[in-house]
Structure 1
Amino acid sequence: MQERSERTRRKLVHAGAEMFHRNGYANATLLEIAAFAGVTKGALYFHFASKDELAEAVQLRGCELLRESVRALRACGGSPLQTLVDLTHWLALGLREEPAIPASFRITRECAGLPSLVTDFHRIWLAEVCGLLRAARDAGELRTGGRWESIESLVAAAACGIETLAATGMPYAELQRRVAGLWSLLLPSLVPEGAQRKFRVGMPDPDTAPGRVGDVREDDAPDTGVDHLSPPVFSGSST
């Protein structure tokens, strides 16, 4: 019984992410979310008393995916700066493959200031980005003598811009190229002269990258005729 309840909750969070991503927070209704999940509205209210509660759960899911991916990428043994590059490629793919990621950005943007929503996915994304950048500085990967505030602002703006590009409907292959091109421009200004050659700006080798964007299991995903299971995180080629 407990397992069935947890499975229903996961379906609702996944369905909520899909609807918030597609329609926005204001336009998404609990009725359509329940229908997308394949459960009754009563079952939805058993788990979530309001749309705000469901939106918070979606953002927490996005944060969970983000932090799991940071841990997995760090475990691959790359340097902090290479991990940051790889994390931006993870984001580009996650924005396409895992609805909790774009939904979390959209909820944060559309619900800023609502007291019922305590999670701010934008801030958490930036905290992970800036944490890796600071680790790169402490590891001696960055140029010395630069203004740290300016460096941090530049990288933070670039990292947030990936979500903005994805929101325009840009095809994933193009977004992947843009992310690689972004780092081709940024790295020479961030690292000592000639050191940019140590870093790969394209996607990681799929044999060494983390296995999945998300972990929605086959029996948890709503049956909508569309495959919502995440493929391997990195399946493209490096540039």
Structure 2
Amino acid sequence: MVKQERALRTREALITSAATVFDRDGFSVASLNAISSLAGVSSGALHFHFVNKAALADSVEQAAAERLDRIVTAHEGVAGSSLQLLVDASHDLAHLLTEDVVLRAGFELSREQVRGGNQGLHHQWHEWVGAALKRADGEGLLNEVAPETVAASVVAATTGFEVLGTQDPQWLSHGTITRFWQLLLPRLAAPAVLGDLVPGGSRSK
């Protein structure tokens, strides 16, 4: 049991270190020596857990996908309108992209063309946003707009903020996300519910 726990800690340390180096240097430039050194383990220990750099990157993406899943599932089944839950989730995503290097690196890796990335995290986010908007439509919250069209716009904007945020964290700030929803909600939400929505997130009330 002790050996298993130690091995799990080593694996998690390597994933975090890999995310840090990928985020700092990019996948192509990142070296396994830099990753093992940052994690405080030997190259042999790294290769015991991961056969190569691509396997490490896959594990970073998987860990990021689990973090994204926790963000969106935290807003499933919560009391409140589906539109407000979408607003809140987008704020949580933006905040954690600035705080969590694994989540940030996972998004970067998911669009990394040199690895033939499958856009996994972006697809995962798109699926959840689309489902949230379909629920909002069913609840009568939308202002005669197609959920699919709105989902594409929301995903394009929020993932655009993610990309821009790699160079300037201001793009992922609470103010930026709030202004985005201040612009979009009057077009998106039915007039009867617009006044109940909080562009800054329900926690900002």
The TM-score, its normalising length taken from structure 2, stands at 0.90
Aligned structure 1 segments of 4 or more residues deviating by more than 2 angstroms: 73-79, 111-114, 146-153
Determine helix, strand or coil for the equivalent of 2:185: helix
1:125 paired residue number: 125
1:152 to 2:151 alignment = yes
> Per-residue displacement from partner, 1:83-109 (whole Å, max 9, x unpaired)?
111111111111111111110111122
Structure 1: gaps spanning 5 or more residues:
206-237
Determine helix, strand or coil for the equivalent of 2:111: helix
Q: CA 1:143–1:136 in structure 2 vs 1: closer, same or farther (change >3 Å)? A: same
Q: CA 1:113–1:13 in structure 2 vs 1: closer, same or farther (change >3 Å)? A: closer
Structure 1 counterpart of 2:179, from 171, 177, 181: 181
The residue type paired with residue 35 of structure 2 is I
> Per-residue displacement from partner, 1:100-153 (whole Å, max 9, x unpaired)?
111011112223662xx6672221122222221222222221123x34443232
The residue type paired with residue 152 of structure 2 is S
In structure 2, distance between residues paired with 1:113 and 1:43: 24
Structure 1 counterpart of 2:98, from 86, 96, 99: 96
2:24 paired residue number: 22
2:138 paired residue number: 138
In structure 2, distance between residues paired with 1:199 and 1:73: 15
Q: CA 1:157–1:136 in structure 2 vs 1: closer, same or farther (change >3 Å)? A: same
- Greater fraction helix: 2
Report deviation, 1:23: 1.1
1:164 to 2:157 alignment = no
Cα-Cα RMSD: 2.0
Question: Contact between 1:56 and 1:118, CA under 8 Å: does it hold in 2?
Answer: no
In structure 2, distance between residues paired with 1:93 and 1:147: 28
The residue type paired with residue 164 of structure 2 is L
1:200 paired residue number: 198
In structure 2, distance between residues paired with 1:175 and 1:95: 10
Question: Contact between 2:64 and 2:106, CA under 8 Å: does it hold in 1?
Answer: yes
Percent same amino acid among aligned pairs? 34
Q: CA 1:119–1:163 in structure 2 vs 1: closer, same or farther (change >3 Å)? A: closer
> Per-residue displacement from partner, 1:157-196 (whole Å, max 9, x unpaired)?
2222220231232337x72101000001111111112522
The residue type paired with residue 162 of structure 2 is E
The residue type paired with residue 44 of structure 1 is L
- After superposition, residues 70-89 of structure 1 pair within 5 angstroms as 70-89=72-91
Question: Contact between 2:182 and 2:199, CA under 8 Å: does it hold in 1?
Answer: yes
Determine helix, strand or coil for the equivalent of 1:73: coil
The residue type paired with residue 45 of structure 2 is A
Report deviation, 1:204: 4.0
Question: Contact between 2:140 and 2:190, CA under 8 Å: does it hold in 1?
Answer: no
Higher RCO, 1 vs 2 (CA within 8 Å, ≥6 residues apart):
1
Question: Contact between 1:58 and 1:103, CA under 8 Å: does it hold in 2?
Answer: yes
